[in-house]
Amino acid sequence: NLEAFYNDGLRSIGPVWSRSNAFAHGVPFKFPASPDTGPGLTNDGIELVKACNEMGIAVDLSHINEKGFWDVARVSTKPLIASHSNVHALCPTTRNLTDNQLKAIKDTNGIAGLNFAVAFLRKDGAKNQDVPMSTLVEHVNHMVDIMGIDHVGLGSDYDGAPPPYDLDSTAKLPTLTSALRDAGYDDEALNKICHANWLRVLEETWGE
């Protein structure tokens, strides 16, 4: 069905959500825990990644487990994309990325998008929405330290999880950009984080 979906406009796909299916194994929501929670891509999953590469469909790795991530990294010829994942070293949930995963994203000229979900931001993994902007800045700083400014974006997850109170609406996005500016990110850096990095990666992935 992939060709029909493509013709209908599909340009990005997650092989899994946080459950297993015919293609791969998603990470269950656990804290504290490693994203290394089971086997990697199935044979069908390998063929799916190859087909997406050929057709110009982005493969989103945010819900896949660590072995699946590395299988995609081995098979794919396109930039690695984790659209809404944070830093495992700062919040050790299965849904976040290890430093080695972040390095792999950089090595493929890919991108990781900052997730606003409080359970993936807080050091205690709690769903308490009282989270300061400094916590999000800390995650961005770590991503930039590991990957460089060209590989960090915004991933929000507004439709899936509770964000910090100070960021519970798209109208409040300037609260985050102001915090990043106060942390030393200039206009060029903010443009990259807010849109330019995403545009580069998607253009390279889609080939359009």
State the pLDDT at residue 208: 64
What is residue 160's predicted lDDT score, i.e. its pLDDT?
Answer: 85
**Percent helix, strand and coil across the chain, each to the nearest 5:** 45, 10, 45
Cβ neighbours, 10 Å, residue 76 = 20
Q: Would you say how long the chain is, in residues?
A: 208
DSSP H helix total and E strand total for the chain: 8, 5
Q: Which domains occur in the chain, in start order?
A: 2-206 (3.20.20.140)
Per-run averaged pLDDT (10 residues), the chain, 208 residues: 96 97 97 98 98 98 98 98 98 98 98 98 98 98 98 95 97 98 98 98 92
Query: Going by C-beta distance under 8 Å and a sequence separation of 6 or more, which residues neighbour residue 10?
Result: 2, 57
Token digits of residue 28: 């269950």
pLDDT score of 195: 98
**How does strand 81-82 pair with strand 111-115?**
parallel
Evaluate whether 102 touches 112 at the Cβ level (below 8 Å): yes
